[in-house]
Amino acid sequence: MIILAIHIICLLLLAFRIMLFGSRGQRRPVIAVLAYVLMSAALVEAVQAAFGMTYPPSTLSLLLEIALTLAIYCHGGNVAELFKPKGYQSRLSQLLCWSPKTKDKVTS
């Protein structure tokens, strides 16, 4: 019962934090779709769990949800920050964040 309550609360916190994020910078369509899917899935899962339409989550599943919720809250609801590269830019982060490859400037 307690695990189910934590599951529902965690999913609602995740969904509402993403929903209340206000972007002021460049819009990234891939990240916007990813955030929308994440928010929608969290809301639907919370409603289904509240009305008993799903099985109770496992402890490991609950730990993953808590980790994702904490990561989203640490970045202020910005899903793009989860994929922002630190130094090395992978192909995945370039695709998701639409960041061009950095070129070294040659000084002459």
pLDDT digits (tens, 9 = 90+) for 4-26: 999 999 999 999 999 998 877 77
As given in the structure block, the two tokens for residue 107 are 């000084």
* pTM across the whole model: 0.74
What confidence tier does 108 reach under pLDDT thresholds 50, 70, 90?
Answer: very low
17 and 70 Cβ atoms separated by less than 8 Å: no
For residue range 64-100, what is the model confidence (pLDDT) as tens digits? 999 999 989 888 888 888 877 666 566 666 666 655 5
Identify whether the C-beta of residue 69 lies closer than 8 Å to the C-beta of residue 13: yes
